[in-house]
């Protein structure tokens, strides 16, 4: 079943065969810690050929709504698919996208909340003369934080993560 699903979603494909990166099984267990110069020469050449092909021929990956997925997001989707296949289940795009959205939106909340805290610290001098002054600074910083969040968020259709951001901003604002 997984093979048919891969063929369905990837009708055009180019396959690469990789030699074992190291011959020592003890090193293979901790392959991520092995320096590049200790990797098998054939494996290194195969990796270069693979990377060259990807960089020159691969188009950006997009989801159904035309959302481009790159970098860490693509890695998250790949891990979700591999874990699902390894468990014997059929990969489901919706579940993988939910995992990606959770990760990306949590990071977006953190980034936006940090921006809010930074801006409040820079712009606000306590004690303020009036409550109005405090509210104006808070509102301006909150708007900027929302803009930062929107720039980095992903499929927050129900605005759950945006609400988490607002709650976080309120909890960080001076009372």
Condensed to tens digits (0 to 9), the pLDDT of residues 42-97 reads: 999 999 999 999 899 888 888 767 777 877 788 888 888 888 888 988 878 788 78
Number of domains in the chain: 2
pLDDT at 113 over 90: yes
pLDDT value of residue 130:
84
Inside any domain, residue 78: no
Q: What percent of the chain has pLDDT over 70?
A: 97
Query: Rounded to 5 degrees, what angle do the CA atoms 24, 30, 34 make?
Result: 75
What is the extent of the structural domain holding 132? Answer: 102-172
In-domain check, residue 90 = no
What pLDDT does 72 receive?
A: 79
Which range of 2-11, 33-42, 65-74 scores highest in mean pLDDT? It is 33-42
Residue 115 has pLDDT above 80, yes or no: yes
R_g (Cα) of the chain, nearest Å = 23
DSSP assignment of the chain equals: -HHHHHHHH-SS--------S-S-HHHHHTGGGS-GGGS-HHHHHHHHHHHHHHHHHPPPEE-TTS-EE-HHHHHHHHHHHHHHHHTTPPP-HHHHHHHHHHHHHHHHHHHHHHHHHHHHHHH--SSPS-HHHHHHHHHHHHHHHHHHHHHH----TT-HHHHHHHHHHHHHS--
Lowest mean pLDDT among 66-70, 133-137, 153-157: 66-70
Q: Is 90 exceeded by the pLDDT of residue 124?
A: no
Residues 106 and 163 in one domain: yes
Q: What percent of the chain has pLDDT over 90?
A: 43
Flag whether the pTM goes above 0.75.
Answer: no
**pLDDT at residue 1, as a whole number:** 62
Within a domain: 39: yes
Which carries the bigger pLDDT value, residue 76 or residue 35? 35
Residues 32/38/40/45 CA torsion (nearest 10 deg) = 80
Q: What distance in Å separates the CA atoms of residue 175 and residue 167, rounded to the nearest whole number?
A: 14
């Amino acid at each position: 079943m997984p093979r048919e699903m891969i063929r369905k979603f990837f009708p055009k494909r180019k396959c690469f065969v990789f030699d074992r990166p190291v011959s020592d099984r003890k090193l293979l267990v901790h392959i991520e810690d092995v320096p590049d110069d200790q990797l098998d020469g054939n494996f290194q050449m195969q990796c270069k050929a693979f990377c060259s092909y990807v960089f020159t021929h691969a188009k950006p990956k997009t989801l159904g709504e035309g959302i481009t997925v790159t970098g860490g997001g693509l890695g998250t989707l790949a891990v979700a698919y591999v874990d699902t296949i390894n468990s014997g289940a059929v990969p489901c795009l919706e579940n993988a996208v939910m995992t990606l959205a959770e990760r990306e939106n949590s990071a977006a909340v953190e980034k936006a909340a940090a921006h809010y805290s930074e801006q409040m610290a820079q712009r606000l001098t306590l004690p303020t003369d009036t409550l109005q002054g405090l509210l104006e600074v808070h509102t301006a910083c909150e708007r900027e934080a929302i803009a930062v969040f929107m720039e980095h968020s992903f499929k927050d259709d129900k605005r759950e993560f945006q609400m988490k951001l607002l709650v976080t901003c309120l909890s960080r604002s001076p009372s």
